[in-house]
Homo-oligomer: A and B are copies of this chain.
Amino acid sequence: MELKEGKEKFIQSWGTLGSHWGINRTMAQIHALLLVANEPLSANNIMDELNISMGNTNMNIRALIDWGLVFKELKPGERKDFYVAEKDMWEVVKRIITQRKKKELEPMLRVLDSISKVEGNSEEAEEFKKVVRDIQLFSSKADSTLENLIKADSNWFIGTFMKMIK
């Protein structure tokens, strides 16, 4: 396989993977392109390379920066902004966990909290509360596990955790 073809395949499948993980296809493709670029790219480079509009390019670059997956780099003497990707996979995963925990898990925890106080003590109400509290317990464990995970470092994950769970 040729280098060019390899890069294209990578961009394509990173895009697909991303779209299943709350990162839209284009956003993930831009990240992929930057991952395999050997130098910082401008918005123009990106739109040419991926055949997407400037508006789309701009919006997704900004989302990537928001998520901490891409950084702006200013080249001295250049008017344009250039961009580079976060290449440390552990960092990438941590940032995605951080975002999704905030956007999805935490709102769910709030809802669970509010509905766990439902009125009534009919059997039906009690059963409902039991289901909710089970989920609440599990979710808050998951939440703090993830909280710990994003504080841990890469070596911990690659080394200790892997062995530990056998």
- For chain A, the count of residues having a C-beta within 8 Å of the partner chain is 62
Residue of B nearest to A142 (CB): B93
Q: Is the interface of A mostly helix, strand, loop or mixed?
A: helix
- Say which one of A57-65, A66-74, A122-130 lies at the interface with B: A122-130
| Contacts A131-B35, A138-B90; A10 near B148 (Cβ below 8 A) | no
A45 at the interface (CB under 8 A from B): no
Residues of A69-90 at the interface with B, using a CB-CB cut-off of 8 Å, are 87, 89-90
Are A128 and B161 in contact, CB atoms less than 8 angstroms apart?
no
Q: A125: which B residues are within 8 A, CB to CB?
A: 3
Instruction: Name 8 interchain pairs, CB-CB below 8 A, sorted by A.
Output: A1-B115, A1-B117, A2-B120, A21-B104, A38-B127, A145-B157, A145-B161, A148-B166
Give the nearest-CB partner of A105 in chain B: B17
Chain A residues at the B interface, C-beta cutoff of 8 Å: 1-3, 5-7, 9-10, 13-14, 16-17, 20-22, 35-36, 38, 87, 89-90, 93, 100, 103-104, 107-108, 111-112, 114-115, 117-120, 122-125, 127-128, 131-132, 134-135, 137-139, 141-142, 144-145, 148-149, 152, 157-158, 161-162, 164-166
Contact A10 B132, CB 8 Å, known A100-B20, A162-B145: yes
Q: Given A9-B115, A108-B13, is A36 in contact with B158 using a C-beta cutoff of 8 Å?
A: no
Q: Considering the complex of A and B, which 9 residue pairs feature the smallest CB-CB distances, nearest first?
A: A6-B118, A89-B138, A6-B115, A13-B111, A148-B165, A3-B125, A20-B104, A1-B118, A17-B108
Q: Which residues of B contact A111 (CB under 8 A)?
A: 9-10, 13
Task: State which of B36, B100, B162 has its C-beta within 8 Å of the C-beta of A141.
Answer: B162
